[in-house]
Amino acid sequence: MILPKDLLKRYWRHSSFRNLQEEIIEAVISKKDVFALLPTGAGKSLCYQIPALAKEGICLVISPLISLMKDQIEQLERKGIKALTIESNTSVDQIVTLFDNLKFGKYKFLYLSPERLNSEFILNKIKQIQVNLIAVDEAHCISEWGHDFRPSYRLIHKVREIHPDVNVIALTATATTKVAEDIIENLNLKGTAIFKKSFFRENLAYLVIENENKIGKLEKIFKKNPHPTIIYVGSRRKTEEISNLINLKGYSSTFYHGGMTAESKSKSFNSWMKEEQLIMVATNAFGMGIDKSNVKIVVHLDLPASIENYVQEAGRAGRNGEKSFSVILQNDNDINSFKKNKLETYPTIKEIKIVHEKLYQYFQIARGELRDGSLDFNFLKFCETYNFSHKKTTNIFQILVKNNIIEIGSKYSKKSTIIFKISSNRLARQHYNKKLTKKLIDFILRSHGGVFQKEVSINEFKIAKSLQINSLTVRNELNVLDQIDIIDYKEANSNEKLTFLTPREDDKTINRISSSIEKFLHNQIQKSKDLIYFIKNNTVCRSIQLSHYFGEKKALKCGICDVCIADKKNSTSGIEKDILKLFNHKKEISQKEIIFSIDEDEKAILIHLRYLLSRNKIGITNNNKFFIL
């Protein structure tokens, strides 16, 4: 067997492991089941990649994100290590060929999404290969109490049944004590070697700043710290908007989100990695697997989804050990918007049952029937037909997908866009053949800002409802305006392929999983509340708050977060009070006497003496003695 340190040198060009990596690798190689809780940037992948390379056979990696799997495979292949994944559109014949390559082509890794374990065909193929390790990445997804529960992760036990002698390593960057226990129980880890690295980052300053002028604050941050920066925002549209604003201010930025083409993503990513543009504005689709050690600042312009998401995203700063900053810019509007978009859009079991039943009715599927094959589905039209809330129904669909009730494409709720091609002055002089056309334009101008400057998302069904007409009429009118070059209208192809995975049983289907759904929803609501509490709690050190959240009870004050800085300011203002009190007993006091009389750091005392002088609170005599004014 090749020694782990030799593999580290050969493939990663490093001479030593990071904290805990070597111990974890040794435990895996000795065939122990392992649970590893390592915060973002601690090098989790090496903990299964090196043991897999050290032994004969193939490492099976269960991972929830296609983009992350592809990224890992590309990184391994650049090192000359062969790895594969089964993509969504892979045919049966291609899967057969893929497993033949695994058996005879010297491959070392097979990356799979957990949903693939639903296939008996793929499980039989896994049975035929020599598996040397099962690695469960983002293991918190197996827990109902985790921030991203994926029921399909519970299928991993099937692989353990096929290869009962193969050990398992479960890895996550974010797990509370409850989630960690859930992971170990659900994966049936035995004699588990548990490794937990502290969430405390002594070089990372967590700053939660209340601010109404966020762009102005960003400018100040950029001037003070011209270093690689990530700015997280809450929507795809906003990535481009904020990037353009930053560039107009004279700074260099690019943007990244999940809706971009692979080519655009690569171009944006590479320009930031090479520091041709120092600032990356992105949704949380950006970050997984990124190895850039000198990120100085991570800014959240919108609130993160949860504390778990926040720790992962903030943790991308300062991996080189130098002082770095995580900044949340927030105000009351952000808190209210967060509550509205998160807390108020979580559905009840009753609402899930209604949407689920209407979905079968929409396709005229009878009770007990399972419709074969995929169906064309227009999500926006479905919502309009039954007067369902767009956001709440999106959440319900995500629950139905996670619980393997339906399958649907990821772009089912995509919206159309418009931008005006003529100026507002010319638009005001424009004449129309129909009153409806002017009525439609006036409504768009009132309800959608920025339509002359950028593409703006619209919902034809909502517009139609407001104007008391049907959505087809709205689309026809917009297409006419597009043809005469008044607007550029891009109609979204909202049709997606939807597949029913269970027969129609209405309430019975939801009742079987209602307990699990209720736990999930309760957990998500609590996580939203926990985040708001964290934002608002400006009395306890941020590092202590985060450490306690993840079960570390013996955390120390960081001394560099916004709460600790405020505490220092309050304590130093106490020095000023102590200095002024001395003059109750003596009219004139020397610097030496003041330093001797106050039990504080000498430098701090001298700073506050200068501050009191500058504010004309005290004066100084020709004999260098201080007196009160």
Higher-confidence position of 537 and 497 = 537
98 falls in which pLDDT band (50, 70, 90)?
Answer: very high
Task: List b or e across 239-250, with b for residues whose CB sees 16 or more CB atoms inside 10 angstroms.
Answer: bbbbbeebbeee
The stretch 451-464 carries a mean pLDDT of 83
Q: What is the pLDDT of residues 514-549, one digit of tens each?
A: 998 998 888 889 999 999 999 999 999 999 999 999
410 falls in which pLDDT band (50, 70, 90)?
Answer: low
DSSP line for 54-86: HSSSEEEEE-S-HHHHHHHHHHHHHTT--EEE-
In the prediction, which pLDDT does 28 show? 96
In the prediction, which pLDDT does 490 show? 84
Collapsing DSSP to helix, strand or coil, 151 comes out as helix
Whether pLDDT at 413 is above 70: no
Q: Which helix (H) or strand (E) holds 204?
A: strand 204-210
In the prediction, which pLDDT does 412 show? 67
Whether pLDDT at 495 is above 80: no
The stretch 471-478 carries a mean pLDDT of 87
CATH 1.10.10.10 range(s) for the chain read 562-628
The stretch 408-422 carries a mean pLDDT of 79
Name the range with the highest mean pLDDT among 332-336, 469-473, 571-575. Answer: 332-336
Please tell me the distance from the alpha carbon of residue 58 to that of residue 390, in angstroms, as a whole number.
44
The stretch 246-253 carries a mean pLDDT of 93
329 falls in which pLDDT band (50, 70, 90)?
Answer: very high
Lowest mean pLDDT across 66-80, 104-118, 275-289, 488-502: 488-502
263 falls in which pLDDT band (50, 70, 90)?
Answer: confident
Fold of 562-628: Arc Repressor Mutant, subunit A (1.10.10)
The CATH number, out of the four listed (1.25.40, 3.40.50, 1.10.3470, 1.10.10), of the domain defined by the range 416-492: 1.10.10
Higher-confidence position of 470 and 361 = 361
- Residue 267 near residue 217, CB atoms below 8 Å: no
φ, ψ (nearest 5 deg) of residue 330:
-145, 160
In the prediction, which pLDDT does 180 show? 92
Query: In the block, which residue shows the tokens 């170990």?
Result: 184
Planar angle of CA 448, 236, 256, nearest 5 degrees: 145
The stretch 419-425 carries a mean pLDDT of 88
Residues above pLDDT 70, as percent of the chain? 98
Whether pLDDT at 257 is above 70: yes
250 falls in which pLDDT band (50, 70, 90)?
Answer: very high
CATH 3.40.50.300 range(s) for the chain read 4-196, 204-331
The stretch 417-446 carries a mean pLDDT of 87
The stretch 448-452 carries a mean pLDDT of 83
Domain 342-413+496-505 sits in CATH at 1.10.10
Strands (E) located in 403-554? 406-408, 416-420, 456-458, 487-490, 495-500
Pairing of strands 109-112, 131-136: unpaired
Task: List b or e across 68-105, with b for residues whose CB sees 16 or more CB atoms inside 10 angstroms.
Answer: bbeebbeebeeeebebbbbeeeeeeeebeebbeebeee
Whether pLDDT at 411 is above 70: no
Residues above pLDDT 90, as percent of the chain? 52
572 falls in which pLDDT band (50, 70, 90)?
Answer: low
Higher-confidence position of 612 and 299 = 299
Please tell me the distance from the alpha carbon of residue 208 to that of residue 135, in angstroms, as a whole number.
36
Token pair recorded at residue 449: 């800002």
Q: What is the pLDDT of residues 33-56, one digit of tens each?
A: 999 998 776 788 999 999 999 999
In the prediction, which pLDDT does 318 show? 92
> Strand 229-232's sheet: what is its strand order?
204-210, 324-330, 297-300, 229-232, 279-282, 253-256
Lowest mean pLDDT across 251-255, 331-335, 400-404: 400-404
Please tell me the distance from the alpha carbon of residue 25 to that of residue 2, in angstroms, as a whole number.
13
User: Model pTM?
Assistant: 0.75
Token pair recorded at residue 124: 């039989």
The stretch 212-230 carries a mean pLDDT of 93
In the prediction, which pLDDT does 213 show? 92
What is the overall mean pLDDT for the chain? Answer: 89
φ, ψ (nearest 5 deg) of residue 486:
-90, -40
Collapsing DSSP to helix, strand or coil, 134 comes out as strand
In the prediction, which pLDDT does 31 show? 94
Q: What is the pLDDT of residues 347-394, one digit of tens each?
A: 999 999 999 999 999 999 999 999 988 898 988 889 888 999 888 999
- Residue 299 near residue 281, CB atoms below 8 Å: no
Lowest mean pLDDT across 260-269, 272-281, 532-541: 260-269
Say which CATH class 4-196 falls into: alpha beta
φ, ψ (nearest 5 deg) of residue 375:
-120, 145
Planar angle of CA 23, 293, 51, nearest 5 degrees: 30
Strands (E) located in 308-415? 324-330, 375-378, 406-408
Whether pLDDT at 105 is above 90: no
**Residues whose CB falls within 8 Å of the CB of residue 287, separated by 6 or more in sequence, listed in order:** 230, 312, 313, 316
The stretch 66-86 carries a mean pLDDT of 89
Lowest mean pLDDT across 30-39, 161-170, 507-516, 579-588: 579-588
Domain 204-331 sits in CATH at 3.40.50.300
